[in-house]
Amino acid sequence: MLQELDSLPAGLLARDAHELAVALGAPTLIHLQGRRSPALFVSVLMHGNETTGWEAIRQLLSDYRVGGGSRELPRSLTLYIGNVAAAAQGVRRLAGQPDYNRVWPGGDDRDSPEAQMMRQVVECMRSRGLFASVDVHNNTGLNPHYACVNRLDYPFLHLAALFSRTVVYFTRPTGVQSLAMSRLCPAVTLECGKPDQSFGVSHVREYLDACLHLSAHPDHPVAAQDLDLFHTVATVQVPESVSFGFGDAGVDISLAADLELLNFRELPRGTTLGRVAPGLGTGLTVLDEQGAEVSERYLEVSGGELRLRLPVMPSMITCDRRIIRQDCFCYLMERYNDHLP
């Protein structure tokens, strides 16, 4: 399934994301030689409808000789272009496909063709050596730009803070690119708002250019005023058997229509999220970092209203029903600055 190239195919940077399946035919690893080594690894289109990473790469590489520009690439770059088949249809993943950002080494899926492909990518980069890894994503809900790390080492935190002072530390879900690459080098995931926002493209482009110009990773603490660190403590899902909507009648869970506005807000206990039909408990599944079901720790139902039992900060709340079914409803976080090394 994976093809490997040592240069950009002619005309590739002129292609929109939905045209890459025709241009490439498969997920593709492209090694581009620069002045310094080892390479910066950048992955885009792990989800086919999250196009900001590809748009930023198009702009970035057009400035350098490898993409038709006039300047030498300051550091070698390996680009991984992921789910081109889903990008052709403008969806996160195709029916029958696993999530491309849940099948990397370290996850539960070890046997699917996609999991074998990601293992091949990791082994290739292990043998070549890596400077840093950046995985670029978009959100469907209203969220600020932020970076995610899976280790609290100083080089990881500096790499994240270079993108945003808002940084999220998580260890679940597993099988994600950044967790796999964190075993080889400093690694971050970038969350860049919605894919139709031009600011997201320019922000990622500038960040990747800054990474290419780094000569080394700082190995000292990030200044306290430069970092707001949060820890993902739980994942909230809607069970397949439960019907839901946003302000809708006649469903098992009727969530508030404006919940997206609560992303990255520290909410007090008792905050109302919606209403739940009798006999369903909270109606939602909440999994902690070990995968244990902990809905009653974080949620309660009183008079039919679904409320927070503890103060938390949600992220990635989305009203996109398809994304909720394919992934999750949101994540719950706590402020984590006191845990910095």
Cα–Cα dist 23/12, whole Å? 7
- 329: closest CA among 311, 306, 309, 304? 306
Cα–Cα dist 32/13, whole Å? 14
Q: Are residues 292 and 185 in the same domain?
A: no
Q: What is the per-residue pLDDT for 341?
A: 64
Kindly report, residue by residue over 51-71, the tens digit of the pLDDT.
999 999 999 999 999 999 999
Cα–Cα dist 223/107, whole Å? 33
pLDDT-derived band at 140 (thresholds 50, 70, 90) equals: confident
% of the chain with per-residue pLDDT over 90: 93
Last residue within a domain, chosen from 226, 258, 274: 226
Per the structure, the count of domains in the chain is: 2
Backbone dihedral angles phi then psi of residue 175, each to the nearest 5 degrees: 75, 15
* Res. 266: pLDDT tops 70: yes
Q: Are residues 128 and 246 in the same domain?
A: no
Cα–Cα dist 177/45, whole Å? 12
Q: Region 168-176: what's the mean pLDDT? A: 95
* Res. 339: pLDDT tops 80: no
Cα–Cα dist 192/207, whole Å? 11
- 200: buried, middle or exposed (CB in 10 Å: 19+, 13-18, 0-12)? buried
Do residues 259 and 246 lie in contact, with contact meaning Cβ atoms separated by under 8 Å?
yes
Structural domain for 267, as ranges: 233-333
Q: Are residues 174 and 240 in the same domain?
A: no
Q: What is the per-residue pLDDT for 141?
A: 80
Cα–Cα dist 299/272, whole Å? 10
Read off the pTM.
0.93
Q: What is the per-residue pLDDT for 306?
A: 97
Q: Are residues 186 and 289 in the same domain?
A: no
Last residue within a domain, chosen from 226, 261, 296: 226
Q: What is the mean pLDDT of the chain?
A: 96
Alpha carbon of residue 166 to chain centroid: 14
Q: Are residues 70 and 188 in the same domain?
A: yes
**32 located within any domain:** yes
Kindly report, residue by residue over 197-250, the tens digit of the pLDDT.
999 999 999 999 999 999 999 999 998 889 999 999 999 999 999 999 998 889
Kindly report, residue by residue over 304-322, the tens digit of the pLDDT.
999 999 999 999 999 999 9
Q: Are residues 132 and 196 in the same domain?
A: yes
Do residues 155 and 219 lie in contact, with contact meaning Cβ atoms separated by under 8 Å?
yes
* Res. 264: pLDDT tops 90: yes
